[in-house]
Structure 1
């Protein structure tokens, strides 16, 4: 009789150490509703992953479990090898996880630069200081650099209220980049954008530092496939297909499910 070796917790941790994000059999129920069922996903450091699916597929619930807005009903979530399943959202942020939302969450009465500065300040050690920042403030300089990264330097002193919708989405990306994130979740960043603004968004996402990985939820398949290395297709709270962008785009079952076409042609 062959005796299998005992699998210790430390061995499991070592197997997870190579991933930025790992979900193990994650499920989420709301009463009798099974929103997620048995999600297993591994994303490497620096990888750009698109998560696609029709409305109700479970994409946003998945994000909420990863960020700590929801606790999964079952399963485990690991972030760079550390089990963060029970961690509140702020603890995951401190470990380098960032997120944007479908609805813009900005300080409307403040300028572009002030918004980014506050985002940088919020994840810094001096976030509770009441000192007014000086121009030489290191965080202010970082904010300036982030504003430039998302192509908003020309409107750095403009109030958020006066920005176009596309510029507000660009600002959200700058804020997500504050505090040297290790990984970002983008929740439908192209929603409501014009074709010109979508091209701008694609350029910004593809120019992000190579060490910063991300997962993007996006209804616009063209945007999602152009900025991602790999794709996860969801349906009814479960993973339906995974593969490279070209494989997913040309898959007949994906076309039938996501694009409404025929699975036979």
Structure 2
């Protein structure tokens, strides 16, 4: 089933129940092409569950996920990746026993056609070129031959975003990419995410409200599994219901 839409990613009445708990309740919003859309809300609001639904990690109870107008609801993560949607995780998700370069080569090669993806690591020219370009872009070239497990926390988070980009997605989901970072690493990561806008569509979960308001083109606020508000950052921050639910005052 396809639907005409100007958005790259559309969520329509997306819902999931865990027993008697409705974790995500009829969520609907659009992520526009080449823009940064942020999802915010108090702890337990349902943000990570929403990302799991969109990325195919869990199947929805109801509703739809549309990518470029095509209904991709419930597709498993590897099929979502093939369709052009990649994701980073709140907890770093890398092959710590492989080098930085090997992590990037493997990610780039997996995204290739089936025959190329089973070649020995390093045999794909495209994967090598893509990995080298990402090493340079994310300032990881000096660390190329170090094990990913030996990197600093900030470097690991940068590498994880680079790995997600290795498959050349059209939509990138970032789940709290600055969690646990120093102030300097947070600023560097924010600059990097800002530079991604225009090249790809970014959907972001982030706890740092100052960062969200600086980075975002559009903000969606969740509260108790539902959409509480959405709009431009300044408009959302001035909304009384958002101030009461998120900032603790009206």
* TM-score, normalised relative to structure 1: 0.89
Q: Is 1:153 aligned with 2:137?
A: no
Aligned to 1:127: 117
Q: Give 1:38 deviation, angstroms.
A: 1.2
Q: Give 1:75 deviation, angstroms.
A: 1.0
Q: Give 1:21 deviation, angstroms.
A: 0.9
Aligned to 1:40: 28
Aligned to 1:5: none
Contact 1:188/1:216, CA 8 A, preserved across alignment: yes
**Higher deviation after alignment, 169-178 or 136-145:** 136-145
Q: Give 1:197 deviation, angstroms.
A: 0.6
Q: Give 1:66 deviation, angstroms.
A: 0.4
Q: Give 1:151 deviation, angstroms.
A: 1.9
Aligned to 1:197: 185
Q: Is 1:173 aligned with 2:167?
A: no
Distance 1:251 1:221 in 2: 14
Aligned to 2:246: 258
CA change 1:167–1:34 in 2 (3 A) is: same
**Higher deviation after alignment, 151-160 or 72-81:** 151-160
Distance 2:193 2:74 in 1: 30
**Higher deviation after alignment, 93-102 or 120-129:** 120-129
Contact 1:190/1:223, CA 8 A, preserved across alignment: no
Aligned to 1:84: 72
| SS at structure 2 position matched to 1:146 | helix
| SS at structure 2 position matched to 1:186 | strand
* TM-score, normalised relative to structure 2: 0.94
Distance 2:219 2:159 in 1: 25
Distance 2:121 2:31 in 1: 40
The number of residues matched between the two structures is 248
Structure 2 residue ranges without an equivalent (≥5)? none
Q: Give 1:163 deviation, angstroms.
A: 0.7
CA change 1:132–1:230 in 2 (3 A) is: closer
Aligned to 1:55: 43
Contact 2:106/2:121, CA 8 A, preserved across alignment: no
- Could you list the structure 1 runs, at least 4 aligned residues long, displaced by more than 4 angstroms after superposition: none
Which of 135, 138, 143 is 2:131 aligned to? Answer: 143
**Considering only aligned residues, what root-mean-square deviation do their CA atoms show, in Å?**
1.6
| SS at structure 2 position matched to 1:242 | strand
Structure 1 residue ranges without an equivalent (≥5)? 1-8
Q: Which has the larger radius of gyration?
A: 1
